[in-house]
Amino acid sequence: MNLVLLGAPGAGKGTQAEKIQHALNIPILSTGNLLRQAIAAGTELGRKAQTYMDGGNLVPDELIIGLVAERLKSPDCANGVIFDGFPRTLPQAQALDRAAKVDVVLSIEVADETIMQRMSGRRTCPQCQASYHVTDNPPQKEGVCDKCGAQLSIRHDDEPDTVRSRLEVYHRQTEPIKEYYGAQGKLKKVQGQPKLADTVKLVSEALGVSL
Catalytic residues: 13, 88, 122, 155, 166
Contact track, ligand AMP, 76-95, x by CB under 6 A: ---------xx-x---x---
Task: Report the Cα 111 to chain-centroid distance in Å.
Answer: 17
Considering the rule CB under 6 A, would residue 59 count as an interface residue with ligand AMP? yes
**Angle (nearest 5°) at CA 90 between 13 and 101:** 70
Reduced 3-state DSSP string for 125-172: CCCCCCEEECCCECCCCCCECCCCCCECECCHHHCHHHHHHHHHHHHH
8 binds ligand AMP (CB under 6 A): no
Scanning residues 142 to 181, which ones bind ligand AMP (CB under 6 A)? 157, 166
> Is residue 35 a contact residue for ligand AMP (CB under 6 A)?
yes
Is 32 one of the binding residues for ligand AMP (CB under 6 A)?
A: yes
7 belongs to the binding site for ligand AMP (CB under 6 A):
no
CA distances from 187 to 25, 116, 167 (A): 22, 25, 20
C-alpha of 66 from chain center:
18
Distance of CA 211 to the CA centre of its chain: 18
With CB under 6 A as the contact rule, the residue among 31, 107, 131, 199 that binds ligand AMP is: 31
| Choice from 48, 52, 136, 206 touching ligand AMP (CB under 6 A) | 52
Tell whether residue 119 is a contact of ligand AMP (CB under 6 A). no
By CB under 6 A, how many residues form the interface with ligand AMP? 17
